[in-house]
Amino acid sequence: MHSLLSAFCVLSIAVSGALGQVDSDPLDSAVDTGVYPIPTATPTDFSGDDGALPYYITATAAGSSGTAGVQNKVGTFLYGYNGCNKLNSAYKGNIDEAYYDSWTIANTAGVLSNINWNEAAALEYLGAPGLNQPQQSQIQAVLANIATVIYSYKNPFLHPLHVRCDDPFKRCQNRPDQDPCQPNPPNPGENPKPTPLAYARNTGPDDEYPMINFCNGFFQRRSLNNAISYGTALRSPENLRLSNYDNRAKTLFHELTHLDLAADSPDPNPRVNDLTIAIKIGSGSTQRTYNTVAYGPLATKILARYHENTGRYTQQNADNLAYFALAKYVMTKNNNVYPHIPIVTNEIDGPPWPALLDTIAEFITDGNTVYLNVSAADLDDLTLNDYSEAEDDIPGCPDNENQSGPSGGTVLTIDALAPDSAYPTDYLSSVSSWISSLGVTTTVPASAQPTLGSSASPTPTPTDADSCDVSYKFIYDEFQIRGKNFVPANFGTDGSGLKHQIAGCGAITDWTFQLTPTDPTYQCCAPSPAEFAAPREYVFKNSTMDEADYHDAMEDFDNEMEDLFDGEKNEEYNEEDEDDKEKPDHHPPEPATDTPMMGSFQLTSQ
């Protein structure tokens, strides 16, 4: 039995959302065995806190048979539930429901068996087939094992899986600012740090069995059924954003992959960890490197675009496996439509495209450097961290103390993305269509080595006439750009070409500008509350800020990078009081004519 290692594995993603009701509907996705499971009680010698009975899934009829075709047909049952009832009498039901629902996800066609390596979900979460071929059999085995570790009709001697809410290793506690990866509570007056949803360990503190502890954030997530109802009811394109379908079952699926018992590791399959990746953000003198644990659809898709040995990394990152399985399950409930947002792509050629950085993550290759095309100015309104987030999330601190392989104390630098030629042409056409539907015009050329897009019209290039004698002025949520050589015809009536026209001037914004009728000034109101306006000052490296202000601005940058990858701003309302909650107002008030200027900066060429 694979339960000899003491490895912590923490899922540091969280969601604010409604607590779902326990679902009693039978499994409605295809099951290879043809056997439908029911929850039953197990012997009372494994009863838990307050007499909580163990829970496992078994066949509805004796003698049922089928072929699982996987290596690990062990089966498990849940027991313990330490501290859960003390926190909330509904928590045991939430855990049992998620256990059942994760079995449902694992049994989805194309997950349990016969992965289609050329379809979008596999390409975006597991990697291009030419780059993961050596690992395909192991990836398939791990995903199939998740189903059989929950329910196995072949094994009458099921393995105990200790579930608890009492946080024996104190991973659910709030962290202090000065050491956010330590489980110490904050000092009086300090703001609490977020905590993980759950964590898993191959052996518990008081027995030899594998354990999963559930933190408060886990119970804030929706049930699988409620998440499907919520996500499919959203308007396009939000119904295509996978993070809108995050749920408790997906979290439990993630944690199961960390257990040797479930992943059938370390032999024959490598252990499944939480990998850390390094991404370059922006270009020029303002470029920064940001490290993030590969949680959520965005970071996992970036990991899956890594240019070499891709399968080695995707097979060892829990969220890549979990989000692939979730995407496939969502398709069974969404008329077989793949929830493709966010889109991770190489550079897009074509006319200037709108500010959709929460939806399209564009990577630019500049010589030997690959960077995410986003400036510090863009960070205020981004939701690029596209997994669901609540107050109970601690980013960047995986607690798997025995992580091995590419995650053993190392960071994978995303220094190149797989070329578009590594992907099937029909997939590239789909990506082009997805981007076009968001207002970006691209085409896929008919060539031996297709690219994501060719320009429908030449991209404007800065010329001598496009002077860098440009000043930026902040007036609460309004800012203006003035330049003596601005020619409205070059920018379009709505200023849509301004981004490319001033590309040689340094900082580039992705806001939409409007031409004033009285002079060649482009101005815009930021699509966010007024309190987010001031931090934009720091994007101008060559500004009039003094050194202290600059360091404060860089600290703001780091904080916003955490928001970018470790906090979703897509608010999920509790279904019970959704109509009663006031939605945030994204339309700032008109500034008064005598409003004082908050800052004025001069750009110079970089």
Q: What is the pLDDT of residues 236-277, one digit of tens each?
A: 899 999 999 999 999 999 999 999 888 877 777 788 999 999
Task: Give the whole-angstrom CA distance, residue 416 versus residue 305.
Answer: 8
Q: Which residues pair with 479 in a beta bridge?
A: 474, 524
Task: Give the whole-angstrom CA distance, residue 280 versus residue 291.
Answer: 9
Of residues 524 and 111, more confidently modeled: 111
Residue 476 pLDDT greater than 60, yes or no:
no
Mean pLDDT value across residues 348-363: 70
Residue 158 pLDDT greater than 50, yes or no:
yes
8 Å CB contact between 276 and 411: yes
Of residues 267 and 118, more confidently modeled: 118
Residue 469 pLDDT greater than 70, yes or no:
no
CA nearest to 162, candidates 215, 205, 101, 105 = 205
8 Å CB contact between 466 and 488: no
Mean pLDDT value across residues 539-558: 50
pLDDT band at 131 (very low <50, low <70, confident <90, very high): very high
* DSSP 3-state of 137: helix
Before 180, cis peptide (omega within 30)? Answer: no
Query: In this predicted structure, what is the pLDDT of residue 415?
Result: 92
Residue 600 pLDDT greater than 90, yes or no:
no
CA nearest to 105, candidates 13, 6, 242, 304 = 242
CA nearest to 382, candidates 275, 536, 230, 549 = 536
Query: In this predicted structure, what is the pLDDT of residue 30?
Result: 28
Query: In this predicted structure, what is the pLDDT of residue 49?
Result: 63
Mean pLDDT value across residues 451-461: 27
Average pLDDT over the chain reads 65
Give the least confident one: 26-40, 81-95, 135-149, 378-392: 26-40
Task: Give the whole-angstrom CA distance, residue 581 versus residue 364.
Answer: 40
8 Å CB contact between 167 and 218: no
Query: In this predicted structure, what is the pLDDT of residue 292?
Result: 84
Of residues 373 and 423, more confidently modeled: 423
Query: In this predicted structure, what is the pLDDT of residue 43?
Result: 36
Query: In this predicted structure, what is the pLDDT of residue 173?
Result: 73
Q: Percent of the chain at pLDDT above 70?
A: 48
Query: In this predicted structure, what is the pLDDT of residue 388?
Result: 43
Q: Of 188-192, 197-201, 542-546, which one has max mean pLDDT?
A: 197-201
Residue 343 pLDDT greater than 50, yes or no:
yes
pLDDT band at 428 (very low <50, low <70, confident <90, very high): very high
Residue spans of the domains in the chain: they are: 8-436, 471-575+587-602
Is the domain spanning 8-436 CATH 3.40.190.10? The answer is: no
C-alpha angle 535-16-25 in degrees, rounded to nearest 5: 155
Backbone torsions φ then ψ of 596, nearest 5 degrees: -70, 150
CB atoms within 10 A of CB 62: 6
pLDDT digits (tens, 9 = 90+) for 301-337: 999 999 999 999 999 999 999 999 999 999 999 999 9
pLDDT digits (tens, 9 = 90+) for 394-419: 444 553 433 443 444 578 999 999 99
Residue 510 pLDDT greater than 60, yes or no:
no
Q: Which residues pair with 478 in a beta bridge?
A: 475, 525
CA nearest to 407, candidates 561, 289, 252, 294 = 294
Which pair of structure tokens corresponds to residue 493? 């009536």
Mean pLDDT value across residues 428-455: 58
Q: Which residues pair with 524 in a beta bridge?
A: 479
Residue 280 pLDDT greater than 70, yes or no:
yes
Residue with tokens 């908050």: 598
Give the least confident one: 112-116, 128-132, 261-265, 335-339: 261-265
Residue 130 pLDDT greater than 90, yes or no:
yes
Which pair of structure tokens corresponds to residue 260? 């040797």
Beta strands in 476-576 (DSSP E): 478-482, 514-515, 521-525
